[in-house]
Amino acid sequence: MWAAMPAGSRSALSGLSGADLRSLLLSVARDRAATARPSAVVRRWHEDRFVRPARADPRVLAQVEARMWQLLPADVAGVELSPVVPVGTCSAVTPVSQNRIVTTMRASEVLSDPTNALAIEAAVRRRRQSEVHLAAAHRVLRAQDFGGEASAHFRLFALVSSARDTGSGATQARLLVRHLTYWRTVLAELAPAAAPQLHVTHFDDETVRERLTDTVRPALDVGVVPLVDEPERSRGRGYYTGCALRITMLDGSLEIGDGGLTDWTARLSGDAKERCLVSCLATERLVDGISR
């Protein structure tokens, strides 16, 4: 494409300021939109996986998510996130390619993971609060092709907690107990017959491993939703630090949630003593598992 354009186009565009580049792209978008015809819009509605409606029943989703909000501890603040976040929200703190993100022309990107956005909000709130616990329910859009009939957009119910390290893995253990207890409560009430499980894996952190053994597991041992060690897991190494979580149904055959310890609020705040735990559950998958 660069070869087909006049000489010097690439360097000229690269040298534009952010505001001038946005103005240029918006003018191009306006010209392209002016040529769109109703028939073309309908065709894109059928062909473009980014815009096709989800197959889930919104009434069922609303009921499930309403109950999840009711089950949250009172000290967890709900956040209604914007559909877009600053460009680089994911790639700045995680090893995620920007090619997987739907980037806009206004120095923003479509929200692809509420935990990234909540981590930014948590880092901001930590300036005035001793610790922060946030939750959000949001429909996210991802650019990668999941194959088959999988939708490019889906709803996630997410939790993010951030607090200062108190040493010996105590903060990490406290946050893990908090998140795992909540997800266990949700699964025990909404999907007790669907064989739900919580899985935990530690990544190269002996202190976290010890706290999983002497603090986290004893707090989660009682209940209808088992906490299962998953030492063979490698997915998420490098994305999560120290520990990863997984939420499944139907005896582990249906994965509905994920999470783990991260360094996101530490990097966002420039304070290596910050500890952050993120976790989320795909509510459409939860509904699907309940109905099977």
80 is a domain residue: yes
Domain that holds residue 142: 56-291
What phi and psi values does residue 289 have, to the nearest 5 degrees?
A: -65, -35
14 is a domain residue: no
At 136-175, the pLDDT tens digits run 999 999 998 887 778 999 999 999 999 999 999 999 999 9
45 is a domain residue: no
The residue behind tokens 């207890």 is 181
What six digits make up the tokens of 201?
Answer: 């894996």
Q: Which of 51, 68, 50 has its CA nearest to residue 287? A: 68
Alpha carbon 149 to its chain centroid, in Å, reads 21
Q: Under 8 Å CB-to-CB from 65, ≥6 apart: which residues?
A: 137, 155, 157, 283
20 is a domain residue: no
pTM exceeds cut of 0.95: no
Q: How many CB atoms lie within 10 A of CB 169?
A: 25
Instruction: Write down the pLDDT at residue 74.
Output: 97
What six digits make up the tokens of 144?
Answer: 């990668």
Instruction: Write down the pLDDT at residue 68.
Output: 98
- In the chain, how many domains are there? 1
Instruction: Write down the pLDDT at residue 222.
Output: 78
pLDDT by residue for the chain (292 residues), tens only, comes to 989 999 999 999 989 998 999 999 999 999 999 999 999 999 999 999 999 999 999 999 999 999 999 999 999 999 999 999 999 999 999 999 999 999 998 889 999 999 999 999 999 999 999 999 999 999 999 998 887 778 999 999 999 999 999 999 999 999 999 999 999 999 999 999 999 999 999 999 999 999 999 999 999 987 789 999 999 999 999 999 999 999 999 999 999 999 999 999 999 999 999 999 999 999 999 999 999 8
51 is a domain residue: no
Instruction: Write down the pLDDT at residue 150.
Output: 82
d(CA 273, CA 1): 47
By CB atoms closer than 10 A (0-12, 13-18, 19+), residue 198 is buried
3-class DSSP assignment, residue 220:
helix
At 257-271, the pLDDT tens digits run 999 999 999 999 999
At 55-81, the pLDDT tens digits run 999 999 999 999 999 999 999 999 999
Q: How many CB atoms lie within 10 A of CB 211?
A: 24
87 is a domain residue: yes
d(CA 182, CA 71): 8
What six digits make up the tokens of 273?
Answer: 């003593």
117 is a domain residue: yes
Instruction: Write down the pLDDT at residue 147.
Output: 77
33 is a domain residue: no
Q: CATH number of the domain that 94 lies in?
A: 3.30.930.10
